[in-house]
Amino acid sequence: MSPTAIWGELICVKKLITVLSLLLFLQIAQPAESENKTATGLTRIQFVTDVNRVVPGEEITVALVLKPNTDFHIYWRGPGIVGVAPVIEWDLPEGFEPGSIEWPAPVKVDMVGIMANGFKSETWLLSTIRVPERVVSEQIEIRAKIAWMACAATCHPGIERLSLTLPAGETAEKDETISKRFTKIRSQLPPPSPEGWSFSVSSPEANTIELDVVVPNLKWSDDTVIDFFCDDFQVDSSVATASKTVGDGKFTLTFTRPDFGPKKPKHFSGVLYSEAGWPDTESKWVEVKTSWKHPKSKDE
């Protein structure tokens, strides 16, 4: 073989190695995704994870990605007096344990003049799945049935089945873009209320709820926008929250009860929002949960 032919062969081999290396890189870096589905009001219904393998004894994060069409919205875990929150009904291999949905902070959404709690833009709902110490199968299929409601001038409930398949292995590579997105989403989740905050809930009248809040180091004016997103049906989301400041970090929020709300709930919980942000946090939202103290009836 002539030197020219040998040189040509070497160039071909070098190109082949480059292509194979690129394909291997893409295989490692590419996140696992389910097939993207669409429905009335939604342009994206999809599972996404940042790892390329399932590792025994470790955890993986799976995001349910829902993207509403323009003018449409979906709902938060506590939708208010209208709407239905997205639901994930997992169908996982034996020993795999799914965690709860990690809910981002909601916004107010308008359903033909009725205010509710939800999301107007693409939303990533993260869930952590614990992998058992022993994984028998070489390929792991993560499946779930998804339900939601997308609304604009009209509402459109939907159900879809999603699945993604990952190989099992001793190590996993992460897609940096998706991994960073997961980290950012989690950093923006409403944090728990800091130690030292206190809450007390009461019902001075049959159709009202008052939440008394004490926040150390609170500095704000009476015109600061404040709101509360209740995570069950105790608050009428279509009625504006009334507030008053007592001083020394104390304020009271007053809500209207809906007719169909629970009669004697054990807890009052949700997300508290302040336009000015909250002291001792780096967030405009904080998670709130406090116990009800119902007066005993004559029969008790």
Instruction: Output the CA angle 186-187-190, nearest 5 degrees.
Output: 85
Please report the pLDDT score of residue 15 as a whole number.
52
**Residue 232: partners with Cβ closer than 8 Å, 6 or more residues away:** 78, 262, 265, 269
What pLDDT, on the 0 to 100 scale, is given for residue 170?
A: 94
CB 69 within 8 A of CB 88: no
What is residue 247's predicted lDDT score, i.e. its pLDDT? 80
Q: What pLDDT score does 14 carry?
A: 52
Q: What is the pLDDT of residue 9?
A: 56
State residue 112's pLDDT score.
93
Q: In this predicted structure, what is the pLDDT of residue 297?
A: 53
DSSP 8-state secondary structure symbol assigned to residue 97: E
How crowded is residue 35: how many other Cβ atoms within 10 Å of its Cβ? 10
Looking at the chain, the whole-number percentage of residues with pLDDT higher than 70 is: 87
List, edge to edge, every strand of the sheet that includes 114-119.
Answer: 74-75, 114-119, 107-111
End-to-end CA distance of the chain: 102
* Residues of the chain predicted below pLDDT 70: 1-31, 222, 295-300
Which residues on adjacent β-strands are paired with residue 39? Answer: 42
